A = this chain, B = another copy of it.
Amino acid sequence: MVKGEIIIVGDEILSGEVQDTNSFELAKQLSSAGFFIERITVVGDEQKEIVDVLLTAIKKADFIILTGGLGPTWDDKTVKAVAQALNRPLEINKEAYQHLKACLAKHGKPFLPSHEKMVLLPAGSKPLGLAFHACGFKLIFDEKPLYFLPGVPKQMNQILKAQVLPDLNIIFPNISILYKKTLRIFGISETEVSNKISSLLASFPEIKVSSLPCFPEVHLFLRANKKEDLDKLVKEIKTILGNDIFGEDTETMPEVVGKLLLKKGYHLSVAESLTGGLIGHLITSVSGSSNYFDRGVVTYSNQAKIELLGVPKEIVNKYGPVSEKTARYMAEGVKKLAKSDIGIAVTGYAGPTAGPEAEVGTVFIGLATPTKIEVTEWHFNGDRSEIKMLAAMTALDKLRRYLIL
């Protein structure tokens, strides 16, 4: 078993100002790759503390990944601490220097003394992440690989995937690869998922299964040593959960909906009230969405619903903006306005206040298809942002379930 340790550096984490997400991401990806994480330590931007925890970790771990404290500002102490702990003098790293100089030159800027700190690394370091304009570095000490990555989650993640994991796989070639599958579920709770599949899981004791609510979805993680076992269990879970599973592994709801729209050759338009543009944002998060989405309207006020979507004034006045009737006219109106095949409309109260006709959390979702208009009523729990997200995702899920029929 190859044991690794994770060290996170950052005052802002110890003071509770920022939640550390890097250790979770690292633990998840390293475990998936077959490595065992023995300890995670968070320390502040204090040279003495970083030295102390680094020296303790080196004694026990086969490899170490440290993130944070690498930036160009005064509060970043990691590089100095590493130099001190490992007794490696700081020197200008040639590879990092050439790269930074070339980058600056491309933008017509000179290499200034203030840039020097950015390429000053402990002797023997191999820079990491140059391709992403983020400088981490790797060192071998006591025959153990030590990786120092920037604390910015996105940069950390890119370097982890592109350089650290491949490097670890070369250094430790014989770890047992696990076969994995993530099933993404929407529309039923984690408890319902558990109730439906727990007896099935009992007959696959050798497969590790865990479920996690990833708001507003539920994810099932499956890990097996044998691919055949995994495939068999996945097939049986799919039989039980059916269309409540919307995607696998990294597939998102907007991607799944987009693929289905493309397949059917349908164009979509959306009329959003309480979601305020969130559905349009989710749909256009997918590259190529212009092939099936050309417009949407955010009709936050009654007047906007009447003017832009042609919802009759008397309907809004009689039934209120949050009503089955209004949702129906909105869906029909946006479909007509956009000359699209499908129109989605969402109206509701996200809170904290509501109107006389409905409570906070009440949402009507209208779906106008080439042949009919359907409206469903929902009652969501949560704060403003949760209700918006639940409404947007439920609208997309409703469309997905219509498209797969």
Contact = CB atoms under 8 A, between A and B. Distances in A.
A287 B211 contact: no
Interface string A1-24: 000000000111111111111011
Assembly stoichiometry (copies): 2
B301 A17 contact: no
A279 to B, nearest CB: 7
A222 B209 CA distance: 43
A334 to B, nearest CB: 11
Interface stretch (A42-50, A93-101, A237-245): A42-50
Given A277-B281, A279-B277, A37 B15 contact: yes
A206 interface: no
A42 to B, nearest CB: 4
Instruction: Tell which of A12, A38, A210 has the most Cβ of chain B within 10 Å.
Output: A210
A17 B210 contact: yes
B43 A39 contact: yes
A235 B31 CA distance: 47
B16 A40 contact: no
A191 interface: yes
A104 interface: no
Contacts of A272: 277, 280
A45 B214 CA distance: 18
A24 B16 contact: yes
A38 B10 CA distance: 11
A73 B40 contact: no
A384 interface: yes
A323 to B, nearest CB: 17
B293 A208 contact: no
A281 B301 CA distance: 15
Given A44-B38, A114-B195, A11 B277 contact: no
A17 B221 contact: yes
A304 to B, nearest CB: 4
Nearest to A13: B27
Contacts of A21: 19
Nearest to A276: B284
A296 B296 CA distance: 9
B40 A75 contact: no
A148 B372 CA distance: 51
Contacts of A247: none
29 contacts: A11-B208, A12-B210, A12-B221, A13-B24, A14-B31, A15-B27, A15-B221, A16-B30, A17-B31, A17-B219, A39-B42, A40-B42, A41-B42, A72-B194, A270-B277, A270-B298, A276-B277, A277-B277, A277-B283, A280-B280, A280-B298, A280-B300, A284-B388, A285-B388, A287-B352, A295-B298, A296-B298, A304-B338, A308-B337
Given A17-B212, A285-B388, 13 more contacts: A10-B212, A13-B27, A14-B27, A14-B36, A15-B180, A16-B24, A16-B27, A18-B214, A19-B21, A45-B210, A72-B191, A73-B194, A298-B298
